[in-house]
Amino acid sequence: MSSAPCDSEHDSRPVFVRAPDLLIREAEFGVVLASRTGGRPITLGGSAQLVWGVLDEPRHLEDLVDEVARRGGVESSEIHSDVVATVGRLRALDVVKCEP
Amino acid sequence: MIDRLPQGPAWEQLWSDAVDDRAVALLASVAADADVLGAQDQFAQLDRGHEAAMRDCVVLERATLEVAEVLGQRNVSFRILKGPAVAHLDYPNPAWRAFGDVDVLVPSADYDHAVAGIMALGAYRRSSEIRPGFDRRFGKGTCLTLRDGTQIDLHRTLATGPFGFTIDTGSIFAERPESVVLAGVAVPVLSRVHRFIHACVHAVLGDAVPRVVTQRDIAQILLTTDVDLDAVRAVADRWRLGAVVARAVAGAWTSLQLAPTPESEAARRYAESRFETRALAAYTGPGRSYARQMVAAVPAVPGITAKAAYLRALVLVDRSYAHRHDGGYARRVRRAWDARVRKGDLP
């Protein structure tokens, strides 16, 4: 099983949350996000949109994977590595934060 | 409602109209209904257009926050108007309502301070004042453009012409504002009653042909929110906007082909006062012009001293303004004369 994509060394169960400083629009095309501090807006679709949607509340990684699996109608073990990778990409984009 | 997207030239026309009217987001939201039928490339076109519109909107909301911050730093009271306020507070999803600029209302006393604050963000004025100090005392406001092209419409009041003087913006700032939360920051906006009245003002006194989006705002607030209609009537009465609200509601119901409601029927039956009909003539029909609205405002300017100052400013405009807008003083005086004759003040 992959490790949580979080820098925290102090808590083995970090919580993932949406970044608080985002301007957001969500519709059929996906999710548009822009930081209030600058930069071009980005659009999330596919698995990134799904993970973003599940992060409507703070979640531990395992909880996040289980909820994505439940909404997708698949087993958690089948998608765990994909969700971890997606969360990593969202963190790299600064639209998801990891809180110890 | 539509159950099938039109095909061929009818679709091209609908798309073109939606783009021109800044209504792609609305069209896409309607088409997102699972029961609406259409071709895959039509839905793809709608998604692309909707996404582009929403990318613009979040950038405009970022500019809204910059403006809010700089005005707050200068202790300037303000209310964000239209776009972000209506999108977040009156629609079920802000993605239904696109907008193209940032509109902000400030008190007359803080107007110059607000202009200076926004210019400190790197904005420039798109046009000069008729005379120094005219905007702060008599104008509707000014348009400022940020370096990235974002347009900030800074308002001192909600309309040009006579109705700009009957609208008591002081009462707006006297009441507790509603707020919209953008990226975690609460930004003050007009109350729902004032948002509705402003939508009516914009529909009837703004563009020569009202945008579908503005008419949708009127219907959206009337049909889907708990807007206090008694308060709307009271404010419209105080601000002499009864006919404006009536024409806006009746126009929206006709344009959007909505089923009659008690409010739309009352709007159709509204009996206009002489002042309302004469004032509205400057905004509607073939004689509509900015110059005519400015001249028509003379009777509405409160007080003899202010009226004299207003007239003096209209005639003795700043020389650079006269040359840029009228081709010189002589042409300006001729246009003002023509406007008064068309208005019916002169034989």
Mean pLDDT of successive 10-residue stretches along chain B, which has 347 residues: 86 93 92 84 94 97 97 96 96 96 96 94 84 79 91 94 92 94 97 97 91 96 97 96 97 96 96 91 78 78 81 73 60 58 47
Task: Compute φ and ψ for B271, nearest 5 degrees.
Answer: -100, 115
- CA-nearest of B225, B230, B198 to B214 is B198
Closest chain B residue to A34 measured between Cα atoms?
B58
> In this complex, which of A24, A30, A34 lies closest to B51 when CB atoms are compared?
A30
Residues of B with CB under 8 A from a CB of A: 25, 28-29, 32, 43, 46-48, 50-51, 54-55, 57-59, 61-62, 65, 93-95, 182-185
Q: Is B118 exposed, middle or buried (0-12, 13-18, 19+ CB in 10 A)?
A: buried
pLDDT greater than 50 at residue A4: no
Residue A7's pLDDT band, with cuts at 50, 70 and 90, is low
User: Residue B227 and residue B216: Cα distance in Å, rounded?
Assistant: 15
Residue B347 pLDDT: 37
A21: contact with B, CB 8 A cutoff:
yes
First to last CA, chain B: 50
**Contact by Cβ (8 Å): B93, B279:** no
Using one digit for the tens of pLDDT, what is the confidence trace for A63-77? 999 999 998 889 999
Closest chain A residue to B52 measured between Cα atoms?
A32
Residue A17 pLDDT: 95
Residue A24's pLDDT band, with cuts at 50, 70 and 90, is very high
Residue A15 pLDDT: 92
Angle between the B192-201 and B212-224 helix axes, to the nearest 10 degrees? 150
User: Residue B218 and residue B215: Cα distance in Å, rounded?
Assistant: 5
Instruction: Return the higher-pLDDT residue of B290 and A93.
Output: A93
Residue A3 pLDDT: 44
Closest chain B residue to A19 measured between Cα atoms?
B183
User: Residue B199 and residue B221: Cα distance in Å, rounded?
Assistant: 10
**Contact by Cβ (8 Å): B189, B180:** yes
Using one digit for the tens of pLDDT, what is the confidence trace for A35-69? 999 899 999 999 999 999 999 999 999 999 999 99
Residue B26 pLDDT: 92
- CA-nearest of B246, B214, B215, B219 to B233 is B246
3-state secondary structure of A27: strand
